[in-house]
Amino acid sequence: MIVGKRSLIEARDVTRILPGIVPTTLVRDIDLAIFENEFVAITGPSGSGKSSLLYLLGLLDMPTSGEVLINGKATAHMEESERAAIRLSTLGFVFQFHFLLPEFTICENVMLPMRALGQLSRGAMRERAEMLLSSLGLADHLQKRPDQLSGGQRQRVAVARALANDPAVILADEPTGSLDSVSSEQVFKILDDVVHSHGKTVVAVTHDLDLAARMERRVHLVDGSILTDERRALHPLT
């Protein structure tokens, strides 16, 4: 427990097993709490369960046993519609590949989560989408479609989309994995700013140990289990 900080996501004795002739254990006996205003790296070798754990924390997958709590509320026995509502309002997602819809402009792509949540007028949704995109250096590209942008720009759009409903937590699966070093650094700095200037929590699966070393906390998995969970002082950005 971190004194003075609230737990946003908690995994309690979580195991995920894929059924089959030979069942595959993706993660095993995971106990993990994610707190407000944290920048957390999830690392480990290929096949160690990093993405599987992230999907469980984000309610994109369900554990075989154990429980995931969001803001202290157990989720295992919820209806899928309840879990979907939590994902929309509390969690934002960034993946290695942006998954932007090619038929929509980038502004319309960022509006999609807001439309799904249904709390804002169309004008307010557009205003927020434009504000988010502008804050990420994309003010001159609002009416472009994804295929008119670079890879780094598309990933910034994906970050804006993840922030659309003002979630408490951003879950990122290899957000810099398909980018060159310059774009990777830009996306990292944006996520760092989300934590340190806007008070959000970011949990990022990454194979880039240099980036992981610049986050305050590193959870390292081996064979589906947590080997280490370390906190450290943040390295200054350069």
Name the nearest CA neighbour of 232 among 219, 210, 215, 207: 215
One-letter amino acid at 73 equals K
- Pick the more confident residue, 3 or 229: 229
Domains and CATH numbers, the chain: 7-228 (3.40.50.300)
Confidence band, pLDDT 50/70/90 cuts, at residue 111:
very high
Please report, for residues 18, 52, 60, 135, the alpha-carbon distance to residue 205 in angstroms, rounded to integers and kept in the order given: 21, 10, 15, 24
In this predicted model, what pLDDT tens digit does every residue of 168-190 receive, in sequence order? Answer: 999 999 888 777 888 888 888 98
Angstrom distance (rounded) from CA 219 to CA 228: 6
* pTM, entire model: 0.90
In this predicted model, what pLDDT tens digit does every residue of 184-231 receive, in sequence order? Answer: 888 889 899 999 988 999 999 998 888 899 999 999 999 999 999 998
